A and B are shown apart, each in its own frame.
Chain A
Amino acid sequence: MLTRLRRQPSWLTFLLSFLLLLFAWQMVVVWGNYDRFILPGPYDVAQQFKVVWQDGRLPKHTWITFSEVIPGLFIGIAFATPLGYLLSKSPFVARLVSPYLIASQAIPIIAIAPLLTIWVRSTYWSRVLVAVIVVFFPILINVVAGLRSVPVEQYELFHSLRASRWQIFRKLELPAALPILLAGLKVGATLSVIGALVGEFVQPKSEGLGFLLVTARYQFKTDLVFVVIVTLGVMALLLYGVVSLLEWWLLRWQTFAHGRKV
């Protein structure tokens, strides 16, 4: 049975495991005889989903969170990439900023986020900023690791061909660092959702899925909490999927690296 399942397409395996999960969840609710406020069943959640979808609250708040996540991710990349390049090229810059960068990681974002809402006038941009900060470090680390992975001999090859700095970046460093860079981007993509959520949590007058989550909890609408959680999960998965697709496209050559020798 298991071997036959293994041969099925992956979407079918996923569908089966998903149905099984829903079933187990429903069973727990039924056997435990839990109150709807403690643990709603999948059916209750689906009902609630329909309600908030139709009254427009879910699409609205999802869109708001999404519109924070995307700029957060891109701005994070836009800052982390050049700094990562500088860090790996200049030992001086590395010595100068590394201690602060590492120390900053010891401070939980949830502690800084309220400060940001005070400092940044725009409530929207203060939430984006939290996402930027969360995304920044893993991207930075991966840019540095990616550039360090370029073998010295390949730099020497480019120098012997008298390549310009830009050519070295474009034709050597970027493609060589890409696998590690994309791995960082995957982490960053999922973290950006968490960042936006934290930003929404800490604002008194807020909006977005984080806001919806907090409100639902206060009102003991546990089924709505579940709706938000699932939506967040789907959003993170979608972003992860887009990066994976990008990875698959950009690193097509790797399929040959594992292929047979001639």
Chain B
Amino acid sequence: MKHSFVALKNISHIFSNGFQVVADVSLTISGGEFVALVGRSGVGKSTLLRLMAGLFVPTQGEVMLDNQPAHHTQEPVGLVFQKDNLLPWRTVQGNVHLPLEIQGQSQKSTHQRIITLLDLVGLAGYAHHYPAQLSGGMAQRVALARALVHEPSLLLLDEPFGALDALTREKMGQELLRIWQLLPVTVCMVTHSIPEAVLLADRVLVLNGQPGTITADISIDLPRPRTLEMEGTSEFYGYAAAIRAAIE
């Protein structure tokens, strides 16, 4: 087991308008694990992710991050949405620097780290560009770099590649895997793509129903490093079919 782990204990969440999104969800994610969360839209995947990030306090139950309640911890997490969510008035470098700035580290002392990270996500030379000058895929790489720069132990991704074209999406998935293997980070990723979930994750959780509950927890025992060629194997196809069947 590597770093922090996430534990949700009998989580139910009801929004202020009385709508119950999720009911009695329990799950644990071990340190360093890569977990994918799939399910129909509106089933409560984003809500679960926000609960893990400590953005919502659950109506019932407890969300623990490294044995601390998620909404109390001062430990920052990495967060990436479908939209890049970059601050348009900051350059690429300024955006990536934000998490460090919030921790009180100056741009000067972290400059080298940012440049190295930009290199890692394939954006060397774009430090001084503004978000509006980037393509969708590039902007999403910046968002990923920003989510990793402060070396969070937990990276939460909400359909991070959902707005990208198929080819860019595959490429970004491979890059994410490469980065995940380099860093001691636990990943929980919401995705709509079953192949993507199988190819990237150690485990795939399936959320179903209204209110949503976890109805399947499928371990993907494909060897690592995973490559795109694996998508053609019967083993891969078997996992994909099992997940497909688990989504009601």
- Where the two chains meet, the residues of A that have a C-beta atom closer than 8 Å to any C-beta of B are 151, 153-154, 156-163, 167, 171-172, 175-176, 178, 251, 253, 256-262
Contacts and interface: CB of A to CB of B under 8 A. Distances in A.
Size class of the B contact interface (CB-based, 8 Å) = 20 to 34
B81 A257 contact: no
Interface string B124-167: 00100110111100100000000000100000100000000000
A257 B102 contact: no
Contacts of B130: 253, 256-257
B134 A154 contact: no
B85 A153 contact: yes
Given A256-B132, A261-B135, A262-B138, A175 B89 contact: yes
B85 to A, nearest CB: 5
Contact of B102 (A167, A253, A258): A167
Contact of A161 (B87, B99, B129): B99
Contacts of A163: 102
Contacts of A153: 81, 83, 85
B114 interface: no
**Chain A binding surface, main DSSP class:** helix
Contacts of A257: 88, 130, 132
Given A161-B98, A161-B150, A261 B76 contact: no
A125 to B, nearest CB: 38
B27 interface: no
Contact of A262 (B73, B99, B135, B150): B135
Nearest to A160: B79
B101 interface: yes
A167 B102 CA distance: 7
B87 A156 contact: no
A155 to B, nearest CB: 9
Given A167-B102, A259-B133, A157 B75 contact: no
Interface string B51-77: 001110000000000000000011111
B167 to A, nearest CB: 18
B133 to A, nearest CB: 5
Given A153-B83, A156-B55, A175-B87, A161 B76 contact: yes
Given A162-B74, A167-B102, A257-B88, A156 B53 contact: yes
Contacts of B73: 162
B192 interface: no
Of listed A163, A172, A260, residue having the most chain B CB within 10 A: A163
Interface in B75-121: 75-79, 81, 83, 85, 87-90, 98-99, 101-102
Contacts of A176: 87, 89
A262 B85 CA distance: 19
Contacts of A251: 89
18 contacts: A153-B85, A154-B87, A156-B55, A157-B85, A160-B55, A161-B98, A161-B102, A162-B73, A162-B76, A167-B102, A171-B98, A176-B87, A176-B89, A178-B89, A256-B130, A256-B133, A261-B132, A261-B133
Nearest to A256: B130
Nearest to B154: A160
Nearest to A167: B102
B50 interface: yes
Contacts of B55: 156, 159-160
A156 B85 CA distance: 10
B1 to A, nearest CB: 24
B128 to A, nearest CB: 10
